[in-house]
């Protein structure tokens, strides 16, 4: 049906082309019907046409006043077809050479006429089809170019400001929040809960109301309906659907009417950037030098994704194929590009939380595409998990369809004929239709220099005390805060739950609570359907670890120590017994303990039981510092976070882990 629908349009194009060919004298169908002398004749009427008598006589011998009588009514015979008159009134007999008529006057059909006509028609159709195809290709290219250019302009840094004029922003507000992410949202919720009529102004550089970021690398990729994805809606763990935006637009007040409102409210000035804070005079300055006075101020500027230097200086045609991943626009761009049938190879650079989550999500959602994950470590999640568990997780990612490339970095790129290739360590190359850079983030601390604020030289972020206060009437929350943890020391955390917790505490303290940061925030990650974990505290693979895992057969458990790099594997032990899941194998110390440790190990463990254990489906991993538990990972175990917090708060020692591990009942789920 599609072909038939296009045929009339193409034939019309052919007819137009033929008129041009005929006009130019390239082809004359009439010439094909006559002999080769036809080109020397004057223009005449078609063969077999009845002519008037006056057309056969000179004008001087014919009386114009004479009544014209049809030739056949005079009794004279009708003219024989093909007879022509010269001006001297003599009849010209048709040239028989090449004639299409037999001697009896009947027309004789010549097949070569039809063949010639078909050839001409075919050539004309071929030419017209070529023109149509070229026109269509050019049109598609132009549309694609315009689409990319429009998207680039739509999501460029120079976004539309709301309100458009800074003069419409209040000159003075009781509560001012710099940043429009999760920490800011949690802060103004906390402020409004303690001060219902509070007037809160949020200045957000991003042109969006506050929204949650975790679904961008998790749930949104598992939507089967792209329309739902385009609306930025996802299915929660309980099956209900919701938007990534915390509140609808109707929740927020108009910026210009905020101060006049008797009930207070929260207004968001989007697209504006604060360039300076005057702590003494309690004012902030926008990029156009407009000043706003505040009573209480919160810095919640978050963090920005890092990029590779080779891509930062690349041309636009390269940048169109490369994206960092942080915002909802990054998600929408990536989802659109990966869904394109022409996109075959997707390369994710980075082996941490975000890179691993994205690689597994893409491999699960796009089975027909090649998903590569490039990272400089030996295994994915190597900076967080002990090596044995990092290796096991890497194999799970590969089972999901991810092509992992370890111990490798991207050193350069090549671009030829619209194709991008990455040059890897060892002069390896890999074709990439889409590149995602997920190599970590850096806190947004530009305000520190202009505002004379202190930042931590080691881990970054604005230095704040246990109450999250940087200076008088100035607090910091979220990724940008380097806070003092009374249990674990100075820290900076880049996870969603920390943004919620620190934002809530900062909001309480802005209303006079004066509380220290005691709550231990958690984080979670999902790497496909078989790997999901929750963690709390300091989770760092450089620390000694002790892991307790459930066996898949029977109600037994194994204990794995990672107390030194040299003995990650040879300190693994499994113990079989007939007891229930509460039976935990003996924990074996590393080589930093007394020499009799190895003797005890040899006495209690049979040689065949010391083999390396490969199955880590469920378990608990304890991270130790000075023999005390400072971090816990619940591996495929859920609804135990409150217990993990109690263990962490109790300053649990290494010698107590045998009994502590039993509390997590890892066999019950």
Cis ω before 328 (30° cut-off from 0): no
The CATH superfamily holding the domain 306-442 is FAD/NAD(P)-binding domain (3.50.50.60)
Looking at per-residue pLDDT, the higher value among 201 and 136 belongs to 201
Residue extents of the structural domains in the chain: 166-210+247-302+444-511, 306-442, 531-554+613-668
* Confidence band for 133, pLDDT divided at 50, 70 and 90: low
Confidence of residue 629 (pLDDT cuts 50, 70, 90): very high
| Residue-wise pLDDT tens digits, 140-191 | 556 555 555 555 554 454 578 999 999 999 999 999 999 999 999 999 999 9
**Which residue, among 639, 279, 598, 567, has the nearest Cα to 450 in the 3D structure?**
279
Alpha-carbon distance of 233 to 26, in angstroms, equals: 63
Identify the pLDDT of residue 382: 97
Q: Are strands 265-270 and 283-286 parallel, antiparallel or unpaired?
A: unpaired
Q: Using CA atoms, how far apart are residues 511 and 513, in angstroms rounded to an integer?
A: 6
Give the contacts of 100 (CB within 8 A, at least 6 positions apart).
Answer: 33, 34, 107, 108, 109, 110
DSSP states along 157-186: SSPPPBSSSGGGS-SEEEEEEE--SHHHHH
Residues with Cβ within 8 Å of residue 363, at least 6 apart in sequence: 371, 397, 400, 401, 402
pLDDT at 291 (0 to 100): 98
Q: CA 536, CA 215: separation in Å to the nearest integer?
A: 20
The residues near 480 (Cβ < 8 Å, ≥ 6 apart) are 179, 299, 300, 301, 302, 303, 443, 444, 445, 461, 462
- Asked whether residue 319 carries a pLDDT value surpassing 50, the answer given is yes
Tokens of 510: 């802005």
Is the model's pLDDT at 561 over the cut of 80?
no
Quickly name the fold that domain 531-554+613-668 has: Enolase-like; domain 1 (3.30.390)
585 pLDDT above the threshold of 80 = no
Q: Is the pLDDT of residue 115 over 70?
A: yes
List the structure tokens of 520.
């231990």
Contact partners, residue 44, CB within 8 Å, separation at least 6: 84
Contact predicate 635/555, CB 8 Å: no
Give the pLDDT of residue 281.
98
Looking at per-residue pLDDT, the higher value among 633 and 574 belongs to: 633
Question: Residue-wise over 77-100: b if at least 16 C-beta within 10 A, else e?
Answer: eebeebebbeeeeeeeebeeeebb
**Distance (Å, whole) CA 131 – CA 119:** 18
DSSP 107: B
For the cut 50, the answer to whether the pLDDT of residue 297 exceeds it is yes
Report the pLDDT averaged over residues 483-496.
Answer: 92
Q: Which residue has the tokens 């109690």?
A: 646
The pLDDT tens digits for 230-249 are 999 999 888 899 999 999 99
Q: What is the DSSP string of 349-395?
A: E--SHHHHHHHHHHHHH-TTSEEEEE-SSSSTTTTTS-HHHHHHHHH
Q: Which residue has the higher pLDDT, 60 or 442?
A: 442
Model confidence band, residue 53 (pLDDT cutoffs 50, 70, 90): very low
- CA dist list (Å): 586 to 564, 601, 652: 18, 9, 17
221-235, 437-451, 512-526, range with greatest mean pLDDT:
437-451
Residue 288's pLDDT is 96
Question: CATH code for 166-210+247-302+444-511?
Answer: 3.50.50.60
Q: Provide the pLDDT for residue 374.
A: 98
Instruction: Check: CB of residue 532 under 8 Å from CB of residue 524.
Output: yes
Identify the bridge partners of residue 123 per DSSP, sorted by sequence position. none
Q: What is the pLDDT of residue 379?
A: 98
Q: How confident is the model at residue 574 (pLDDT cuts 50, 70, 90)?
A: very low
The number of beta carbons lying within 10 Å of the beta carbon of residue 48 is 12
Lowest mean pLDDT among 36-40, 100-104, 577-581, 641-645: 577-581
| Residue 27 burial by Cβ neighbours in a 10 Å radius (0-12, 13-18, 19+) | middle
Distance CA 239, CA 541 (A): 34
Confidence band of 63 (pLDDT split at 50, 70, 90):
very low
User: Directed axis angle between helix 387-399 and helix 353-365, to 10°?
Assistant: 20
Is-contact 657 648, C-beta < 8 A? no
- Taking the C-alpha atoms of residue 234 and residue 368, their distance in angstroms, rounded to an integer, is 23
pLDDT-based confidence at residue 433 (cuts at 50, 70, 90): very high
Residue 154 gets the label, from left (phi > 0), alpha (psi -120 to 50) or beta, of alpha
Q: What tokens appear for 408 in the block?
A: 């490798």
Q: What is the β-pairing status of strands 619-625 and 628-635?
A: antiparallel
Residue 669 has pLDDT above 80, yes or no: no
What distance in Å separates the CA atoms of residue 501 and residue 52, rounded to the nearest whole number? 106
- Identical fold between 166-210+247-302+444-511 and 531-554+613-668: no
Asked if the model's pLDDT at residue 571 lies above 70, the reply is: no
What average pLDDT does the structure give for the chain? Answer: 80
């Amino acid at each position: 049906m599609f072909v038939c629908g296009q045929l009339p349009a193409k034939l019309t194009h052919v007819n137009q082309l033929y008129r041009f060919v005929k006009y130019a004298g390239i082809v004359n169908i009439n010439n094909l019907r006559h002999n080769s002398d036809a080109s020397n004749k004057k223009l005449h009427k078609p063969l077999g046409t009845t002519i008037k008598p006056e057309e056969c006589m000179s004008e001087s011998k014919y009386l114009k006043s004479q009544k014209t009588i049809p030739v056949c009514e005079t009794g004279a015979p009708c003219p024989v077809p093909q007879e022509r008159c010269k001006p001297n009134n003599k009849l010209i007999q048709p040239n028989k050479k090449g004639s299409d008529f037999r001697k009896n006057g009947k027309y004789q059909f010549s097949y070569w006429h039809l063949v010639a006509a078909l050839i001409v028609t075919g050539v004309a159709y071929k030419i017209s089809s070529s023109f149509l195809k070229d026109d269509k290709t050019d049109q598609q290219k132009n549309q694609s170019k315009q689409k990319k250019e429009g998207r680039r302009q739509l999501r460029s840094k120079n976004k539309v400001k709301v309100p458009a004029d800074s003069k419409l922003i209040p000159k003075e507000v009781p509560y001012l929040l710099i940043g429009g992410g999760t920490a800011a949202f949690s802060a103004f919720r906390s402020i409004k809960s303690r001060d219902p009529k509070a007037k809160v102004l949020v200045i957000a550089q991003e042109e969006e109301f506050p929204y949650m970021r975790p679904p961008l690398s998790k749930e949104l990729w598992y939507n089967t309906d792209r329309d739902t994805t385009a609306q930025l809606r996802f299915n929660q763990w309980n099956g209900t659907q919701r938007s990534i935006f915390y509140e609808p637009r109707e929740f927020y007040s108009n910026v210009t009417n905020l101060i006049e409102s008797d009930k207070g409210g929260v207004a968001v000035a989007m697209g504006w950037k604060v360039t300076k804070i005057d702590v003494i005079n309690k004012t902030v300055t926008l990029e156009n030098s407009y000043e706003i006075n505040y009573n209480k101020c919160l810095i919640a500027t978050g963090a920005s994704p890092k990029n590779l230097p080779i891509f930062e200086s690349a041309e636009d045609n390269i940048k169109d194929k490369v994206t960092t991943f942080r915002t909802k626009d990054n998600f929408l761009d990536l989802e659109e590009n990966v869904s394109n049938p022409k996109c075959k190879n997707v390369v994710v650079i980075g082996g941490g939380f975000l890179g691993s989550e994205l690689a597994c999500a893409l491999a699960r959602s796009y089975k027909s595409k090649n998903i590569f994950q490039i990272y400089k470590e030996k295994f994915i999640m190597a900076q967080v998990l002990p090596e044995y568990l990092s290796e096991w997780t890497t194999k799970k990612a590969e089972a999901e369809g991810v092509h992992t490339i370890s111990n490798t970095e991207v050193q350069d790129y090549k671009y030829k004929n619209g194709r991008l290739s990455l040059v890897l360590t060892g002069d390896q190359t890999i074709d990439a239709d889409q590149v995602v850079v997920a190599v970590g983030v850096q806190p947004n601390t530009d305000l520190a220099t202009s505002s004379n604020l202190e930042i931590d030289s080691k881990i970054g972020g604005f230095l704040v005390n246990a109450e999250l206060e940087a200076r008088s009437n100035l607090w910091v929350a979220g990724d940008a805060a380097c806070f003092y943890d009374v249990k674990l020391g100075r820290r900076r955390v880049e996870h969603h739950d920390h943004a919620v917790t620190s934002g809530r505490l900062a909001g309480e303290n802005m209303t006079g609570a004066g509380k220290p940061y005691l709550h231990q925030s958690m984080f979670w990650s999902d790497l496909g359907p078989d790997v999901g974990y929750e963690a709390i505290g300091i989770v760092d693979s450089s620390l000694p670890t002790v892991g307790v895992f459930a066996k898949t057969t029977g109600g037994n458990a194994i204990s794995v120590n990672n107390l030194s790099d040299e003995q990650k594997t040879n300190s693994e032990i499994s113990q079989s017994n007939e007891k229930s899941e509460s039976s935990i194998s003996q924990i074996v110390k590393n080589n930093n303990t007394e020499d009799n440790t190895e003797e005890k190990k040899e006495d209690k463990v049979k040689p065949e039981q010391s083999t390396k254990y490969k199955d880590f489906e469920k378990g608990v991993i304890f991270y130790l510092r000075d023999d005390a538990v400072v971090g816990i990972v619940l591996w495929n175990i859920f609804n135990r976070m409150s217990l993990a917090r109690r263990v962490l708060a109790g300053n649990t020692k290494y010698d107590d882990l045998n009994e502590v591990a039993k509390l997590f009942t890892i066999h019950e789920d």
